[in-house]
Amino acid sequence: MNVLEVKEIHKSFGSKKVLDGVSFSVPENCVFGFIGRNGAGKTTTMRAVLGLLETDGGEIDVCGQRVSYGNTPTNGCIGYLPDVPEFYGYMNAREYLALCGRITGMDRGDVKKRSSELLELVGLDKESHRIKGYSRGMKQRLGIAQALINRPKLLILDEPTSALDPVGRKEILDIISAAKEQTSVIFSTHILSDVERICSRVAFLEGGKTAFEGGIDEIRAMKGDTALELSLAMSSDTDKLKAAFPAAELREGKLIFPKASDSDCSELMAFLAAQNIPITRLERHESDLEDIFMEVIGK
């Protein structure tokens, strides 16, 4: 069963059409990457899923239940980290988590245990000061802890790593990966390497529509044309290779073999070995998410 089902949602702000038929679905135990340019409507879509925003049309189902604006019981199975989380400055992290836990109906003992667990997980366990003095990164960490408190079935994270230092980013990505065991995660980001690292599905949002949605391996398959880059030790060998492999192109002193499959690769290596041609470098260049992103948004 899909934890989240978004069907053809539309939303305009005044005359500005932001969402124009966005559809995607998030299966269970999946990390779902949500990608799009600034202002593409990622935050808007997430707010609609949470019932914080009234859509102009379309359907959203969370855990098989229809989402309605305003009064939103489906939120009970969602954990959400807003893009810029705001907390009560006069509380400390532990008190805040206790408040969150009790709202979701956990009993005091359970809340206490879970808070300690989560604070350690996000690295705030030694922090006894009030939230008022927190840095942005610390707020983001607390935001992730509060989103996880009630072991939600769906975790919605809006740019969870945007304010974090490199170590923190890795830690949080590990937390998200680990959370996959119990929940589905949907997160928006601009850092495509993060997506490649932990996501099993992605959706690109462009022009108010989902321009692409699919598994990360589908993307890899779609762009299976890995290119080979060969640098020769002696440029005099170039002609020999060009004669044997007509597809090869010479670019900036390197021989490029576009759309080379695995067998093409071994064939090339066998040829090099047989002819005893010395090389300095042979590289397989995989097209990454960035290339695909550029292609999808038509740049």
Partner 1 sequence: MKGFVAFFEKEVRELVRTKRLMILLAVFVIVGIMNPAVAKLTPKLFELMADELSEQGIVLGEVKVTALDSWTQFVKNMPMALIVMLIMFGGIYTSEYTKGTLIPLLTKGLSRGSVVLSKLAAMLLTWSAGLWLCYGITYFYSDWYWDNSAVNRLGFACFCWWLFGVLMICCIVFFSSFAGSGAQVLLGCGAVYFAMTMAGLYSRAKEYLPTRLCDSAPLYKGELVPSDYTAAAVITAAISAVLVLAALPLTHRRQV
Residues that bind Mg ion (CB under 5 A): 43, 83
Nearer to ligand ATP, 17 or 151 (CB): 17
Residue (of 240, 263, 262) closest to 250 by Cα position: 240
Residue nearest to Mg ion (CB): 43
Fill in the per-residue mask, 103 to 122: x = in contact with partner 1 (CB under 8 A), - = not in contact.
xxx-----------------
Selected binder of partner 1 within 72, 177, 200, 287 (CB under 8 A):
72
Residue 293 neighbours by CB under 8 Å, 6+ apart: 35, 192, 204
CA 17 remoteness from chain centre: 24
Contacting partner 1 within 120-159 (CB under 8 A): 143, 146-147, 149-150
What single-letter amino acid sits at 34? F
Question: Nearest approach, Cβ of 24 to partner 1 (angstroms)?
Answer: 20
Nearer to Mg ion, 83 or 95 (CB): 83
Q: How many helices (H) and strands (E) does the chain have?
A: 10, 14
Measured CA to CA, the distance from residue 198 to residue 93 in angstroms comes to: 28
Residue 97 neighbours by CB under 8 Å, 6+ apart: 111, 114, 115, 118, 119, 142, 145, 146, 149
- Taking CA 151 as the corner, what is the angle to CA 142 and CA 117, rounded to the nearest 5 degrees? 50
82 interacts with ligand ATP by CB under 6 A: no
Selected binder of ligand ATP within 40, 63, 100, 176 (CB under 6 A):
40
Q: What share of the chain is helix, strand, coil (3-state, %, to 5)?
A: 40, 30, 30
The residue ranges of DSSP E strands in the chain, in sequence order, are 2-13, 16-27, 31-36, 57-62, 65-66, 78-81, 154-158, 184-188, 201-206, 209-215, 227-232, 249-251, 254-257, 279-285
Selected binder of ligand ATP within 12, 29, 39, 294 (CB under 6 A):
39
161 interacts with ligand ATP by CB under 6 A: no
Contacting partner 1 within 31-50 (CB under 8 A): 50
Which of Mg ion, ligand ATP, partner 1, none lies near 40, with the C-beta cut-off 5 to 8 A by kind? ligand ATP
Which of partner 1, ligand ATP, Mg ion, none lies near 2, with the C-beta cut-off 5 to 8 A by kind? none
210 interacts with ligand ATP by CB under 6 A: no
Contacting ligand ATP within 18-37 (CB under 6 A): 18, 36
85 interacts with ligand ATP by CB under 6 A: no
Residues that bind partner 1 (CB under 8 A): 50, 52-54, 69-73, 75-76, 78-80, 82, 84-88, 90-91, 95, 99-100, 102-105, 143, 146-147, 149-150
